[in-house]
Chain A
Amino acid sequence: EADIYQTPRYLVIGTGKKITLECSQTMGHDKMYWYQQDPGMELHLIHYSYGVNSTEKGDLSSESTVSRIRTEHFPLTLESARPSHTSQYLCASSADVASGRNEQFFGPGTRLTVL
């Protein structure tokens, strides 16, 4: 059973608000990821991290930022939310590839609606 958590599960906010989506995992995984996914559509990688103090932007341009101060925690922040940010945000983690088992475990997701 994967132990990766996201809060909140649902969030409805007004335009211009600053929000932080939380993601935590208890598996000790080095790698963590943030994906954006519209209903029934593909997964778009927006940020990833190889470990503490390491963050990289993904393929999809995003106005969000991330931080990785602790191994287990990988929050995503939107400084000023806009209706175009309405989507589902999925967090995932995986073990280091050297272990040979680098499948990704996904959190339950945060469904964000910006009015």
Chain B
Amino acid sequence: QQPVQSPQAVILREGEDAVINCSSSKALYSVHWYRQKHGEAPVFLMILLKGGEQKGHEKISASFNEKKQQSSLYLTASQLSYSGTYFCGTESRSNSGYALNFGKGTSLLVTP
């Protein structure tokens, strides 16, 4: 079951914050976040393995609410390099260890 991402697209000025959401209709085992820049392959950002877990990398962090079956990616004080399409990939308990289901992506553009 494909997770649902929102918003579809967002435009920010440099230094502003953004939140990207990912929700699933299935009970989740893990949530992955990837960023893909134009013309390049997706690059892994972080994985959240259990409910309530929060992880961060520099000014990008994420949370995982297992009960609500959703994850959010937080981009703080955005930089121009944050521009790209962000995908969440979910692993449900019913297919743990199997291939991920990716959302449709959220396009993020950071302007000067």
Whether the Cβ atoms of A97 and B32 lie closer than 8 Å is no
Whether the Cβ atoms of A40 and B104 lie closer than 8 Å is no
Q: Number of residues in B with C-beta < 8 Å to the partner?
A: 23
Q: Number of residues in A with C-beta < 8 Å to the partner?
A: 22
Whether the Cβ atoms of A43 and B99 lie closer than 8 Å is no
A48 contacts across to B, CB distance below 8 A: 99
A90 to B44, CA, bound (A): 14
Query: Contact mask A35-63 → B, CB, 8 Å, 1/0?
Result: 00000111101001000000000110000
A31 to B97, CA, bound (A): 10
Whether the Cβ atoms of A43 and B44 lie closer than 8 Å is no
With A48-B99, A104-B32, A106-B42 in contact, is A43–B87 under 8 Å at CB?
yes
A40 contacts across to B, CB distance below 8 A: 85, 107
